Amino acid sequence: MSKVLLLPSDHGGGRGHVSRCEYLAQKLCSDGFEPTLVLEAKHFKSSVNSGGPDRVLLDTRSERFEKYQFTKPFKPGVHLKERLYKRPVFMAFDGLAYQIPRDGYWTPKLVRSRFNKLCRIIESKKPDMLIGDTHFLTFLLGRKFDLPVVQITRSAGFPPNPGFLWWTQDNAQYAAPDFLPPFAPLLDELAINSIGKAEDLLQGDLYLVPASPEIEPCGSGSNIVYCGPLTALDHNTARVPFFEEESDVTKIYVSIGGGADRGQEKKFFDRVLDLFKDKEYRVLVSTGKRVKASSYKNKAVNMKFRDWVPGSAAVCQSDLVIFHGGYGTTMEVLSAARPSIVLPAHTEQEGNGRRLEALDVGRVFPPLQKPDILHFDWPLGEYTMGVCSEMRWDEDAMFEALPQLLYGPAFDKLKGISENLKKLQTLFNLARVFSF
């Protein structure tokens, strides 16, 4: 088995799914496989001149016309029923079903169109195996072409037993989208009758968990492989001038991620400035080009704002990290053995922060406001989500947590977690794991 087709979810704000698959594709190349990455326009354009593994464009431009239909709604989509006067600072939801409308799977026609495009790519590339990362068509393509399917997964979306809101019993607060009808005709055609929840669309023959069991408790079994982070762990050599300056003061790195799409971003960075200005910390803030860093020039002697910072290096050279809770950065702080504080912008990021908190190596501070209910219309009816519009955290608890994380037992625990992750990554043998 040598040819591998990788299908990362190409939607949402960040590059997490794509970055994991790019790393895995590089590793596949090194180990004698022939990988091909399937990317939509956004990430295909940004990586087309980067060299490395083969990439192919999944061209979805025609969907702007294909979404029209002869019955109401004539132009299907997702519509907010209430008027928002402020961009949300936090979105609350309770499962992966919400990614179905987000990813554009609005009607059977659109699902079929995307599926047929992927079929043509498979017929052209003739892979021996498919690898998906939260891509809702990978499992169905494997069934159609009788190909083994590997799914990169986490406990939040693990198909046999997903645990999205694992830290709370409040699982019935929101009405999830009815995800099944857009896929129903295709499922009937493929004689698949095992889909009872959105996560079932992410079934596979093998589950690849890019973490350790203590971080992502998906269980054990011959079809579950904990491979450690699907990212390089040696980026700590890049220069971070502000942290290189000689000082005995604690160094804090703040980042919301390049694709976080956090509402009220200017207000977020203003709040970070107010929180740490003139405090006994050296604080480096990456705005990710969401806000011009130059607008904060000379606002605080102990703080530097930059449009871009080499994130992995900044994590490694800091003493503590404050971030949004994205999975990529979560694995970076654990691999680098750095304590952290998470200020999440949505529930999935909160879940990552809750995991760090459960491991006693971090704290999470969602907004203090109780979410208001938002109602959305899409072709299959209505669904709801929660929304917070006020940027208020428990700042007293946050500053109390800082010395506890910096001088408490977190570093010893992080050292063991980091060593385990690196060991799993080193022992990850592709030829052995992918020997179907």
- Closest C-alpha to 376, from 201, 178, 180: 178
- Closest C-alpha to 200, from 95, 350, 326: 95
Peptide bond into 159 cis (omega under 30): no
Same domain, 38 and 140: yes
Summarised one tens digit per residue, pLDDT across range 260-304 is: 456 788 999 999 999 999 999 999 999 988 899 999 999 999 999
- Strand 381-388 to strand 372-378: parallel, antiparallel, or no bridges (unpaired)? antiparallel
Of 204, 228, 252, which residue constitutes the final position of a domain?
A: 228
Same domain, 207 and 254: no
Residue 380 lies in a domain: no
Residue 277 lies in a domain: yes
**Distance, C-alpha 22 to centroid of its chain:** 14
Of 228, 253, 287, which residue constitutes the final position of a domain?
A: 228
- HEC string for the chain: CCEEEEEECCCCCCCHHHHHHHHHHHHHHHCCCEEEEEECHHHHHHHCCCCCCEEEECCCCCHHHHCCCCCCCCCCCCEECCCCCCCCCEEECCCHHHHHHHCCCCCHHHHHHHHHHHHHHHHHHCCCEEEEECCCCHHHHHHHHCCCEEEECCHHHCCCCCCCCCCCCCCCCCCCCCCCCCCHHHHHHCCCCCCCCHHHHHCCCEEEECCCCCCCCCCCCCCEEECCCCCCCCCCCCCCHHHHCCCCCEEEEEECCCCCCCCCHHHHHHHHHHHHCCCCEEEEEECCCCCCHHHHCCCCCCEEEECCCCHHHHHHHCCEEEECCCHHHHHHHHHCCCCEEECCCEHHHHHHHHHHHHCCCEEECCCCCCCEEEEEEECCEEEEEEEECCCCCCHHHHHHHHHHHHHCCHHHHHHHHHHHHHHHHHHCCHHHHCCC
Domain around 204: 3-66+105-228
Residue 70: band (very low, low, confident or very high) from pLDDT cuts 50, 70, 90: low
- Closest C-alpha to 272, from 256, 250, 294: 256
Same domain, 213 and 251: no
Residue 355 lies in a domain: yes
Res 388 pLDDT > 90: yes
Number of domains in the chain: 2
Residue 42 lies in a domain: yes
Residue 51's identity, in one-letter code, is G
Residue 331's identity, in one-letter code, is M
Give the pLDDT score at 171. 64
Residue 24 in tokens:
């895995």
What are the φ/ψ torsions at residue 202 (nearest 5 degrees)?
-110, 25
Contact yes or no for 352/372 (Cβ under 8 A): no
Same domain, 286 and 215: no
Residue 386: band (very low, low, confident or very high) from pLDDT cuts 50, 70, 90: very high
Provide mean pLDDT across the span 196-202: 97
CATH of residue 302's domain is: 3.40.50.2000
Same domain, 152 and 186: yes
Looking up tokens 């080499």 gives 310
Same domain, 252 and 213: no
Same domain, 267 and 208: no
Same domain, 270 and 401: yes
- Closest C-alpha to 144, from 162, 167, 166, 121: 121
Residue 172: band (very low, low, confident or very high) from pLDDT cuts 50, 70, 90: low
pTM of the model: 0.93
Same domain, 44 and 124: yes
Same domain, 129 and 216: yes
Give the pLDDT score at 50. 63
Contact yes or no for 345/89 (Cβ under 8 A): yes
Provide mean pLDDT across the span 362-380: 94
Give the pLDDT score at 261. 58
Q: Mean pLDDT highest for which of 56-65, 172-181, 227-236?
A: 172-181
Summarised one tens digit per residue, pLDDT across range 393-435 is: 999 999 999 999 999 999 999 999 999 999 999 999 998 888 8
Res 259 pLDDT > 60: no
Summarised one tens digit per residue, pLDDT across range 298-336 is: 999 999 999 999 999 999 999 999 999 999 999 999 999
Provide mean pLDDT across the span 243-250: 89
Summarised one tens digit per residue, pLDDT across range 204-234 is: 999 999 999 999 999 999 999 999 999 887 7
Same domain, 201 and 167: yes
Residue 46: band (very low, low, confident or very high) from pLDDT cuts 50, 70, 90: low
